[in-house]
Amino acid sequence: EFPTADVLSLAGIDSPVAIGLTSSLNGRALSVNVSIASEEALSDHKLVVYLTEDGLLRDQTNYYDNDQSSPYFGLGNPMVDFEQKHVLRAALTDAIGDPIPALNALADYNTQISYTIPEDFAIDQLQLVVMVVDQNNLAVNTQHAAIEETIIYQ
């Protein structure tokens, strides 16, 4: 966990863009609904939606195996069955985003995305990561949620 003050010092100013997110699952058929609202008019922005997975066990190269100051000291190289977290498993939009139509201030944009989750993905370990990026691909706002979790505009 990161201390709130440390995160906020990196986060910058409040965003005029809010993201709402909900998803539902029918078997392995995932339906994702994303809502975007902005206090300001938006143009040249994109929506990015990723599916990530926690708990993947993979061998991990360990460049710090011989570094006594490292928490990875002496764990071997590679570290066998190292737990990987937040692994990008699928881009549900284009990897660098799908265009968002120009929006007037206080107008809503809603989109629905369908995706079939492959059998080798652990549904209980999946999360959605949503970003609105500007014309320079800089994040304007982000949101994340577990599958079937609802996030009201934030």
Looking at the DSSP bridge assignments, the partners of residue 133 are: 46, 139
Residue 128's H or E segment, with its range, is strand 126-133
| CA-closest candidate to residue 154, choices 7, 18, 48 | 18
User: Which of 82, 45, 48, 46 lies closest to 63 in space, CA to CA?
Assistant: 82
Assess whether pLDDT exceeds 90 at residue 4.
no
- DSSP per position, 57-116: EEEE--TTTT-TTSTTTTS-SSEEEEEE-SEEEEESS-TT-EEEPPB-TT-EEEEEEEEE
**13 pLDDT tier (thresholds 50, 70, 90):** low
Residue 153, strand partner residues: none
> What does the block give as tokens for 25?
């699952």
Q: For the segment 93-104, what is each residue's pLDDT rounded down to a tens digit? A: 999 999 999 999
Query: What is the secondary structure of 17-40 as a DSSP string?
Result: EEEEEEEEEETTEEEEEEEEEESS
Class of domain 4-146: mainly beta
**pLDDT value of residue 2:** 66
- Predicted TM-score (pTM) of the model is 0.85
User: Residues 124-135: pLDDT tens digits?
Assistant: 999 999 999 999
